[in-house]
Structure 1
Amino acid sequence: MNFRQKNVLLILLACFPFGLIAQAQKKKSKVVTDPVFSAFSYKGNDAIYTDNPLKADEFYNPILQGCYPDPSITKKGNDYYLVNSSFSMFPGVPIFHSNDLVNWKQIGHVLDRRSQLKVDSAGISAGIYAPDIKYNPGNETFYMITTQIASGIGNMVVKTKDPLKGWSDPKKLNFDGIDPSIFFDDNGKAYITHNDAPDRGKTLYNGHRVIKIWEYDLQNDQVIPGTDKIIVDGGVDITQKPIWIEGPHLYKKNGKYYLMCAEGGTGGWHSEVIFVSDSPTGPFKPAPSNPILTQRHFPKDRKDKVDWAGHADLVEGPDGKYYGVFLGIRPNNQDRVNAGRETFMLPVDWSGEFPVFENGLIPMRPKLKVPKGTERKWEQGGYFQNGNFTFNEDFSKDTLDFRWIGVRGPREEFIAKTKDGLIIKPSERNIKSNKVTSTLFHRQQHNAFEAAFTLKYAPRSATDMAGLVCYQSERFNYVFGITRKGTEDFLVLAKTNKGETTVVASVKIDTGKPVRLQVVANHDEYRFNYSTDGTNFQNLGGTVSGDVLSTNVAGGFTGSLIGLYATTGNDIQPQ
């Protein structure tokens, strides 16, 4: 080896270690540690439940608390199945099972694949509207028919022989309008009814809608062209200009056909009305005593108010008596709707010609008697909880509880299980995006509640954030998260109203150890707290209003969601 070669070798040996170190440091600087969430807890504290304890033969109403609106129900033998609207939540259309109408278990979601649910760029209140579930004994098949307000799908149907084994991909149905439902007659024929606009040029006033019926081809799963017919124009009495006749369901009893619909819009004038005919295609005559269910006539300041009752469906119970499920709200003490539209139930008296919801025309009460021969089993575990329950999640099970949802896309695409908790891989999109975000949601199910989880996270830049979000929509929410400014980490509370974000408060925080984040709500008052020792909490930002988490302010059709959130697209900066 000559002198020149030796010098080159010495230079390479001298430089090589430093080159490796520099390369390793450069690589390390690009690594962003994904946040780890653990020890989630949700606890309800509504006074209505402490003031009205249950007796052995009672259960609480609503039967599904939180954002579970537009219920539809069917039965096969002793098995009852109930579904709800889910809008842009993913998976979509939660489905529940019961053998007695009292004890319910969520068995999954009807729409749990991207091939079924295309809401990846939809607003939170778009997506799935008013699903209808029915069992056809003629071919032993369950049908779920709905309107998907996204991706040009419109009205659609999916099927299964067994709701526990998944559902087919959607079949697009060739008609306009919303709120379709399917009816199977005992002669083998099938029909679809739905809400639609009046014929061209015949709209008389704002909110004027009609109910149409089509014959349905069971072999090809499609309406039969040319069979459509308007069977209700406007509502019970068009001279009174009724608005938003919708949510139709067709039934047959004692040789007559009954058409039950919502009327008055899904707000303070909401109600349920009934019509009768000798034929499924009409003409339909309204009952003389409509509405058969409403809460619109009572003082606004009544105690323990339930309101907006309507959008109902009927089923025969295990005791041979009819029951109706329907949506309603329980506003907070500022008359704001944060928990969303919930699923209620009432017994139905159908001893006369027309069904009537028992106690559905007086201020609703928080408790019901269980059907004869039934016992309440909530306390045994495994059933959907009611009242002031506590739900704990340590994320140790192989699969997530069905109550956990994403928005616009599958939760499985951004989560991973570890021995330390649940990793959420941050999305480049933040919570204000109308695309898929990395946020795992639990519904707000009480007006007074507390929710908390432990977060292990060290942000690397100002665009990194992870934490808690209270979410009414992409334009109305609170974010309570950890981010970075310069060389220091901060916990920030920010409020987004109409898409504009304001920082409420921020504080420096040590991310060398886990932080526990908590939200405590008492009706309209929300407080965001944190703990660095897991026990002693400090408040950040004082008491703030939950106004942006209400449909009164945010609009739309959903209830508030509590989210575990991570992003690399953060735009919230500490003060």
Structure 2
Amino acid sequence: MKTLKKTLLLLVCLVMCGNLFAQYTYKNPVIPGFYPDPSVCRVNDDYYLVTSTFEYFPGVPVFHSKDMVNWKQIGHCLTRESQLKLHNIAPSGGIYAPTIRYNNGTFYMVTTNVNDKGNFYVHTKDPAGEWSEPIWVKQGGIDPTLFFDNGKCYFLSIPDGIQLCEIDVATGKQLSNSKVIWRGTGGRYPEAPHLYKKDGWYYLLIAEGGTEYGHKVTIARSRELYGPYESNPANPILTHINEHTQGNAIQGVGHADLIEGHDGSWWSVFLGFRPQSYLHHLLGRETFLAPVRWDTNAWPVINGNGAVTLDMNVSHLLPQHPWPAEPIRDEFNSSKLNLKWNYLRNPNYSNYSITNGALRLKGDVVTLDDNASPTFLGRRQQHINFTASTPVDIKNISEGDEAGITVYMNSTGHYDMYVTQKAGKRVLQVKYHLGNINHIEKEIEIDNNPLTLFVTGSADYYEFSYKQGNKASGVIAKVNTRFISSETLGGFTGVYLGLYAVSKNKANPVIADFNWFEYTH
């Protein structure tokens, strides 16, 4: 009997110890692909997140989560040209880092249109619905944020150091002079300020070092809102610039936001990128998640050592709430496009329609090389290894017209596979555009049988192939990924997989019907 009691006691101890050291896992990035500069807010047990969009329209996607790990896009903040003017802007212009906040039943999203009037915010009661017209703020700079405290609203941005002023949230009118409250720890490009109030302290979180391999997150605090702010002796609290993280599969971590979970736990969302092919990255800066320990009157500590991994093992997670998996194939069977699709700049809607269960694109004289709005609908490349495919049915094609699929970083760098007319014959071409170089890599004569186009991506190469009728082509062209990477072309965006159409004659445009689009990884 004593032996049985000892055995039971041992089992109880083992179970208790197991619970004490329980490990939970999730995978980073939590939102893969070009979703940079994440900001998050919470309403009860619901979490809402926004990211930057630069020259793409609609602007600023809105995501919803119950657990901080699983996110579902529910809308965009900027869906009308009156909110978002992007005409003829250069690559990586337009909308910079947004912040989302919630106060007294209203959501606010504040951001910068660097090609319009600067800093503004919009608001709504329903983050999945329509947002207000812009309310512009006089204080300049970029990376604005709002902070609500004691019934007042404060505005921060970075024209020269981190500047703070009080505003009238109903009108955007500045109610106090702007004051520099901190300049960071000395790293270049201080940016992404966010204010939090905890345990009687005002904590000011920023990013430094530039949004590249030297990126980092630093923090300061003060008992008074306007400072002076004391720098954390343990700064930076998040970075992969250290020797032990230089080989990490995630680099450039920074531009963070902090959030308290509905169970009292703390978390951080932030951007980073995944290098591939000779330390180049193509997917853009993505959204990552890490746990935060934030004791009373203490400094926040991100993931224990200020570093993160692709496979995260943590001691705590919020109760998991995964969303149903999205279909890998978009059948274009609704009059409303899936939220993952974007236009380049402000679109000419007359060039787009859903007709007989197909996405119909009408060619425009604007090309993918122009800083304007070509007939283009794209979705982000979200994985290093993927295959995208789509059937295309071409009507009314003339000499020099194009209709097909593009692997698109920006107007200075993209790879295209398209149908065109040449010397009275229909041909399939693979072309790459790099700066001033336009090179046709492959040209194949085709007939009028049903045609499906394929793009397969890996760390080092994009491979192009097609199928006509029942005959598959095999790989017809293979091009290096790194020539359209961020390190090669510059800018702040990531690769899109786009469907497009170009016409030499606007009065007699080519028509391209895409019955479906499939993306697998």
2:124 aligned partner:
160
Q: Distance in 2 between matches of 1:415 and 1:159?
A: 29
Shift of 1:124: 2.6
Q: Is the Cα–Cα contact under 8 Å of residues 469 and 565 in structure 1 kept in the other structure?
A: yes
1:532 aligned partner:
468
Q: Distance in 1 between matches of 2:310 and 2:131?
A: 37
1:520 to 442, 452, 456: 456
1:90 to 43, 57, 64: 57
2:172 to 221, 238, 245: 221
1:466 aligned partner:
403
Q: Distance in 2 between matches of 1:177 and 1:341?
A: 22
Q: Distance in 1 between matches of 2:395 and 2:305?
A: 53
Q: Distance in 2 between matches of 1:554 and 1:452?
A: 26
Summarize the alignment of residues 137-148 of structure 1 with structure 2, pairs less than 5 Å apart: 137=104, 140-148=105-113
Q: Distance in 2 between matches of 1:329 and 1:503?
A: 31
Summarize the alignment of residues 335-414 of structure 1 with structure 2, pairs less than 5 Å apart: 335-352=279-296, 353-359=298-304, 361-362=306-307, 364-369=309-314, 371-372=316-317, 374-378=319-323, 380-381=324-325, 391-410=328-347, 412-414=349-351
Runs (4 or more) in structure 1 with deviation over 4 Å come to 368-373
CA deviations on 1:108-138 (whole Å, 9 max, x unpaired) are 100000000100211230000000110112x
2:508 aligned partner:
none
1:312 to 253, 256, 271: 256
1:287 aligned partner:
232
Q: Is the Cα–Cα contact under 8 Å of residues 308 and 329 in structure 1 kept in the other structure?
A: yes
Q: Distance in 2 between matches of 1:416 and 1:272?
A: 44
Query: Which sections of structure 2, spanning at least 5 residues, go unmatched?
Result: 1-21, 506-521
Shift of 1:363: 5.3
Shift of 1:359: 4.4
1:488 aligned partner:
425
Change (3 A) 1:569 1:474: farther
Change (3 A) 1:301 1:274: closer
Shift of 1:487: 1.2
Q: How many residues end up aligned between the 2 structures?
A: 483
Change (3 A) 1:336 1:413: farther
Q: Distance in 2 between matches of 1:231 and 1:265?
A: 20
3-state DSSP of counterpart to 2:328: strand
3-state DSSP of counterpart to 1:552: helix
Q: Distance in 2 between matches of 1:85 and 1:371?
A: 29
Q: Is the Cα–Cα contact under 8 Å of residues 243 and 264 in structure 1 kept in the other structure?
A: yes
Q: Is the Cα–Cα contact under 8 Å of residues 348 and 373 in structure 2 kept in the other structure?
A: no
- Give the aligned residue type for 2:191: E
- Give the aligned residue type for 1:407: L
Q: Is the Cα–Cα contact under 8 Å of residues 56 and 376 in structure 1 kept in the other structure?
A: no
Shift of 1:193: 1.1
Shift of 1:280: 1.3
Change (3 A) 1:535 1:190: farther
CA deviations on 1:192-215 (whole Å, 9 max, x unpaired) are 111123xxxxxxxxxxxx111111
Shift of 1:314: 0.7
2:497 aligned partner:
562
1:324 aligned partner:
268
Change (3 A) 1:467 1:180: same
Q: Distance in 1 between matches of 2:305 and 2:348?
A: 39
2:155 aligned partner:
192
Q: Is the Cα–Cα contact under 8 Å of residues 346 and 360 in structure 1 kept in the other structure?
A: no
3-state DSSP of counterpart to 1:319: coil
3-state DSSP of counterpart to 2:472: coil
2:514 aligned partner:
none
Q: Is the Cα–Cα contact under 8 Å of residues 231 and 281 in structure 1 kept in the other structure?
A: yes
1:18 aligned partner:
none
Q: Is the Cα–Cα contact under 8 Å of residues 475 and 500 in structure 1 kept in the other structure?
A: no
Instruction: Verify: 1:171 aligned to 2:122, yes or no.
Output: no
Shift of 1:366: 2.3
Query: Which sections of structure 1, spanning at least 5 residues, go unmatched?
Result: 1-54, 198-209, 383-389, 571-575
Larger radius of gyration: 1
Where relative contact order (Cα < 8 A, 6+ residues apart) is larger, the structure is 1
CA deviations on 1:152-185 (whole Å, 9 max, x unpaired) are 3211111112212211111221122111100001
Change (3 A) 1:344 1:550: same
Change (3 A) 1:56 1:368: closer
Summarize the alignment of residues 66-85 of structure 1 with structure 2, pairs less than 5 Å apart: 66-85=33-52
Q: Distance in 1 between matches of 2:330 and 2:315?
A: 30
Q: Distance in 2 between matches of 1:435 and 1:316?
A: 42
Q: Is the Cα–Cα contact under 8 Å of residues 305 and 363 in structure 1 kept in the other structure?
A: no
1:551 to 457, 481, 486: 486
2:190 aligned partner:
245
Change (3 A) 1:411 1:309: farther
Task: Give me the TM-score of the superposition, normalised by structure 1.
Answer: 0.81
Q: Distance in 1 between matches of 2:198 and 2:396?
A: 63
Shift of 1:334: 1.9
Shift of 1:420: 4.5
1:443 aligned partner:
380
Change (3 A) 1:123 1:366: farther
Q: Distance in 1 between matches of 2:39 and 2:318?
A: 24
- Give the aligned residue type for 2:74: I
Task: Give me the TM-score of the superposition, normalised by structure 2.
Answer: 0.89
Task: Give the RMSD, CA atoms, in angstroms.
Answer: 2.0
Q: Distance in 1 between matches of 2:137 and 2:58?
A: 22
Instruction: Verify: 1:254 aligned to 2:199, yes or no.
Output: yes
